[in-house]
Structure 1
Amino acid sequence: MTAATVFSGERIYCVDPAERLFFGRSAECTICLDAEDTAISRRAGEIVHERGAWWLVNRSSAHPLSVIDEVGLRSVLVPGRRTALDAVTRIVVAGARGSHTLRVEVPEAAADRAAESATPAGDPTAVGENVLISQADRDAMLALFAGYLEEPPRHDPHPRTYAAAAARLGWPRTTLVKRIEYLRTRLDEAGVPNMTGWNALTNLAEYALSRGLITKDDLRRVRRDR
């Protein structure tokens, strides 16, 4: 069993399975985020190896932690709860003087990434083999959902407006709307749930990210092409 690796700014911490890493306001923590920011708990959280797995534990009695998974989806870890760390994970600790981001890599994550890179990337979706995702579909989703893929503090787990996304692509707004609506219709007919209704755009974002239809590599490619 090799160590987990935690990145905090320019600092790197290797955590042996027999060790515990604490982070928070206290100078006694392994990672002291900001000793003068009383909006951060003295012990905000802990990274620990137990029962054969790595865990993030919220040690605060009052403040939640934001957890961003490897595809950019954000969840909230409430005080006293824990979540397994089985992939590259970012932990955001909010304070009155700013937010702090920790990046955690565990040994299993490296194996997962290697397995994923060895898997051919195909166009059929996981549900509905006859639904093909074109490059124009990917470009439209990337423009709408790029905030999910950004690193903190630019990470924004909400779709952009159609107008803002269309301007990013240089498309008419109506072109983008029609392409996304047609994509949602095809996915819905193929059995993908929650592709219609008031929250359909957010559900499409989560589906696209969880299935790897758009990735951080796509975001980097777009930046290189500019």
Structure 2
Amino acid sequence: MDSSLAITMSFGALSRTMSPGEEAVFGRSPECAFQIDPDDTAISRKAGVVRAENDVWFVVNTSVACTLEIVDDFGFPSVLAPGRKRPLQGEMRIRLSGNQKHEIVVHAPLTDAPVTEDEPEGQPTAIGASVALTPEERAVLVALFAGYLHEGAKYDPYPRTYDAAAARLRMTPSKVRKKVEYLRTRLTRAGVPNMDGLLNLAQYVLAKRLITKDDLGLL
């Protein structure tokens, strides 16, 4: 087995490592390599399959009616419609919604293929690179966006309210809001666009890995 091309899938206590040429079907059917709750009839009998094409791993939604939720390594969710496929890179999660949430964790190799075609020449964009977080700002961001960083049942891809974040940090809501506004102002001055609203701020700080799941210990 070429470990550089291997993928590992985990569901509860069940874990499986595969090489290109192998595949793993998941769903409610007992024939699946990863059998999800057999009594949860809201899940397709064969909900999807993970397999490689030209040494790149994909998850394919094989259901005729049910969607899958794919969570990338930044914590951002996206919907995978029936019949569609999505490449897998790094640590990602496949979530199935039935009578309850079910989650398969995937560790896939990173490919060397470019993410975009015709990458322009020149220095890479460094917008916002000069803005450094203070320890208090980092804690505030973790309190607001912890839902993106958690796994399993605690995963919740929505910002918390200022009041909820303040309660976790034992701050006043006004102090939390001021910390966010000051950070947002600095990012805007550094050239980062669309810094209005917590959702846009969450997308920026998570994509730039200004906070990660390792920071959950700050709470």
CA displacement, residues 156-209 of structure 1 (integer Å, 9 cap, x when unaligned): 10011100101111111111101101111111222212102xxx2011011111
Helix, strand or coil for the counterpart of 1:163? helix
For normalisation by structure 2, the TM-score amounts to: 0.88
> 1:128 and 1:92 mapped to 2: Cα distance?
32
The Cα of 1:27 is off from its aligned counterpart by 1.4
Residue number among 177, 201, 207 corresponding to 1:210 in the alignment: 207
CA displacement, residues 89-136 of structure 1 (integer Å, 9 cap, x when unaligned): 11111112x221101112338x9xxxxxxxxxxxxx941343222111
Aligned match of 2:157: 157
Any residues of structure 2 matched to 1:55-94 within 5 Å, and which? 55-94=58-97
Aligned match of 2:135: 135
The Cα of 1:80 is off from its aligned counterpart by 1.1
> 2:168 and 2:128 mapped to 1: Cα distance?
30
Q: Give the letter aligned to residue 148 of structure 2.
A: Y
> 2:131 and 2:142 mapped to 1: Cα distance?
18
Q: Give the letter aligned to residue 57 of structure 2.
A: W
Residue number among 18, 23, 27 corresponding to 1:20 in the alignment: 23
Structure 1: any 5+ residue segments left out of the alignment? 112-124
Helix, strand or coil for the counterpart of 2:201? helix
> 1:129 and 1:191 mapped to 2: Cα distance?
10
Structure 2: any 5+ residue segments left out of the alignment? 113-124
> 1:23 and 1:58 mapped to 2: Cα distance?
10
For normalisation by structure 1, the TM-score amounts to: 0.85
Helix, strand or coil for the counterpart of 1:213? coil
Aligned match of 1:103: 105
8 Å contact kept, 2:20–2:55: no
> 1:65 and 1:139 mapped to 2: Cα distance?
32
Helix, strand or coil for the counterpart of 2:152? coil
Helix, strand or coil for the counterpart of 2:204? helix
Change (3 A) 1:156 1:126: farther
**Number of residue pairs matched by the alignment:** 204
8 Å contact kept, 1:126–1:211: no
